Structure 1
Amino acid sequence: MEKKVLIMTFEMNSQAYEAFSKLKELHLQQRIVVEQMAIVNHDEAHSFQVKDFLDMTGNDKLITGGLIGMLVGILGGPLGMLLGWTTGSIIGGTGDASEVKDALSAFEKTSDAISQGKTGLIVIASEYAEEVIDQLVHGELNGEVIRLHEQSVREEVEAARQAEKELRKEARKKWFNEKFRKKSTN
């Protein structure tokens, strides 16, 4: 079974909490294998916040150390703000929206799915059959689910973390050079 990152969204924010609870039950019934899951809110200030988190692996990973935490951290951090992770303007400017959506990163897909003012669910899981989660999300809760390959998301997160590190380094260098220049002209 391949691990996937599942991004689930619903019409009502309370349904994300209901899905969280029902996914725990499905895991205990061994109908799916959940590693981690988090309820994530995309607030009006364009920030992403984890409202609840569960690590089912027994490793007691903190949210910040897990893949979900890193994904959310990048979305809500300086790099996410800088790049905007929004797709509306991209899709509006092309004739084939499906072609663009296929090329979008995990960050853009997550930000687009859990739109501003909404609460969604991000889950790392392996599925014996997609129908189990589809029945819960689509059938019972009238929601949507996006499936991404876990390894691809992990690679994107690592590339983004590296880019963020390089941006911080450049920002410090620029700040230091400007500060040094000011002192030498005084």
Structure 2
Amino acid sequence: MSKRVIIMHFEVESQAYQAFSEIKKLYTERKIKGEQMAVVTHVNDGVHQFKIDDFLDFTGNDHTAKNSMIGMLIGILGGPLGILLGWFAGSLFGASQDAKEIQGAQTVFEHVTKQIGEGETGLILIAEEDDNRPLNQLIMNELGGEITRLDFEDVEKEITDAKDVEKETKDSAQKSWQDKKQDSNEKEEN
């Protein structure tokens, strides 16, 4: 049994909320071992922001959406690095949700943006599954949704790598800006 980051996509926004409620039941019935779950919307406003509409920490650690693994994932997607690297799916990849496109994704960030397209609402769950059938039954058979499962350790590593790149980029940009300002000041003095 391994921990997974499970991304679920539905045709209708209300199905994400219904799945949120039904997954809570699966948790209380001990059919899944959930850690965190969030209803996530890819806002359709041209700026490619993701927002967490509802959040649950199953562990009792009182994580808020912002300081959770899901919150970090969403924060990177909507942050400067996500915009710089074009991880938002809407205008770049179109609305296609076909399996080949998902399999071709290079990063966890691309998986999320391809699963939850611009203007769509989905669900992200971090859980351990002894048996994936209860979740598959609910999401695919009862609600007609799609599921992508990613290895938790891979997601965690990509988030760490993205944070490192964000810091390096910020440091480099600040140094470059300071160098330009210094050059301008030196030219004005001469």
- Shared fold, TM over 0.5: yes
Aligned residue in 1 for 2:2: 2
How far the C-alpha of 1:145 sits from its partner, in A, is 0.6
Residue pair 2:10, 2:146 contacting (<8 A) in 1 also = yes
Among residues 171, 174, 177, which one is paired with 2:173 in the alignment? 171
Match of 2:42 in 1: 42
1:23 paired with 2:23, answer yes
Quick check: 1:43–1:117 contact (8 Å CA) kept in 2?
yes
Percent of matched pairs sharing the same residue: 46
**Matches of 1:73 and 1:99, distance apart in 2:** 23
Question: Do the aligned partners of residues 111 and 41 (structure 1) sit closer, same or farther apart at CA in structure 2, a change above 3 Å counting?
Answer: same
Which shifted more, 175-184 or 142-151? Answer: 175-184
Q: How many residues align?
A: 182
The Cα offsets for residues 58-81 of structure 1, whole Å up to 9 and x where unpaired, read as 111122222111111111110000
Greater than 4 Å deviation, 4+ residue runs: 86-92
Structure 2 alignment gaps of length 5 or more: none
SS at match of 1:65: coil
Matched to 2:25, the amino acid is E
Question: Which residue of 1 is the match for residue 62 of structure 2?
Answer: 60
Give yes or no for the alignment of 1:124 onto 2:126.
yes
* Structure 1 spans left out of the alignment, 5+ residues: none
Q: Give the TM-score of the pair, scaled to structure 2.
A: 0.89
CA distance in 1, matches of 2:172, 2:105: 28
Query: Aligned-pair RMSD on alpha carbons?
Result: 2.1
Give the C-alpha shift of residue 101 in structure 1: 2.2
Superposition map of 1:24-173 within 5 A: 24-44=24-44, 45-85=47-87, 98=100, 101-102=103-104, 104-173=106-175
Instruction: Determine the C-alpha separation between the residues in 2 that align with 1:122 and 1:98.
Output: 21
Q: Is the 8 Å Cα contact of residues 91 and 100 (structure 1) preserved in structure 2?
A: no
Q: Which secondary structure does the structure 2 equivalent of 1:84 belong to?
A: coil
